[in-house]
């Protein structure tokens, strides 16, 4: 299983060609670190990163 980070929103997708968070099809294997967002509504990190769905997000993508 390859985990690819979306270049637009940093959502980490597994085995898909369309990002589940933003619908983008641009991914990168070059990502570092991640945060798991369980409740975007209540998470300060999610607000900062513009995250709207629960899931795993890369901290940095190249």
Distance CA 54, CA 62 (A): 22
Beta strands in 1-62 (DSSP E): 3-6, 12-14, 27-28, 31-37, 55-61
Residues lying near Zn ion in the complex (CB under 5 A): 6, 8-9, 11, 19, 21-22, 24
In whole angstroms, the minimum distance from the beta carbon of 20 to Zn ion comes to 8
In whole angstroms, the minimum distance from the beta carbon of 19 to Zn ion comes to 3
In whole angstroms, the minimum distance from the beta carbon of 21 to Zn ion comes to 4
């Amino acid at each position: 299983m390859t985990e690819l980070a979306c270049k637009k929103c940093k959502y980490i997708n597994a085995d898909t060609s369309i990002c589940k968070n933003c619908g983008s099809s641009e991914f990168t294997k070059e990502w570092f670190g991640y945060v798991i967002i369980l409740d975007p509504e209540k998470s300060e990190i999610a607000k900062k990163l513009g995250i709207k769905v629960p899931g795993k997000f890369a901290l940095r993508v190249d």
